[in-house]
Amino acid sequence: MSLHIVCPHCHATNRVPQERLDASPQCGACHLALFTAQPIELTESSFNRHISHNDIPALVDFWAPWCGPCKMMTPIFAKAATILEPKIRLVKINTEEQQALAARYNIRSIPTLSLFKGGQEIARQAGAMSEQDLVLL
């Protein structure tokens, strides 16, 4: 079975056999790695593509640069990417730069972590989390 994976670099959609997810697949368009073991920063347009075209779940960190708990979560979220990819794509959305996106998802406090699958939000957790809690989420 092949999965659709959106490239974190050029945002092209790739078909990758499920059994090859752990084999460092590369994008057919830009030839860069489909998984970088680090969260990817997205804009509203690239967010829509990643959420609606990826067959793997996406864990989204809604954050802002002035937020103390968000700064505390940054290294934890980065570490989680090394553990959770390629099973889950980790995404960061700067709510200061992407205000319309934050409003669309009714983000009232930050950090807020949202889990998306099949284009739909399926879980949400507000507030900073430990690495252990984040990986078990």
Which residue among the candidates 7, 27, 30, 70 is catalytic per the annotation?
70
Residue whose entry in the numeric block shows the structure tokens 């099949």: 118
How far is 29 from 129, CA to CA, in rounded Å? 36
Can you read off the two tokens belonging to residue 4? 């659709």
How far is 62 from 32, CA to CA, in rounded Å? 26
Can you read off the two tokens belonging to residue 19? 């059994």
Is the previous residue joined to 111 through a cis bond, with omega within 30 degrees of 0?
yes
- Our answer to whether residue 7 is catalytic in this structure is no
CA angle 53, 12, 22 (to 5 degrees): 75
- Our answer to whether residue 67 is catalytic in this structure is yes
CB 57 within 8 A of CB 88: yes
Which residue among the candidates 7, 27, 30, 67 is catalytic per the annotation?
67
CB 34 within 8 A of CB 23: no
User: Which positions are catalytic?
Assistant: 67, 70
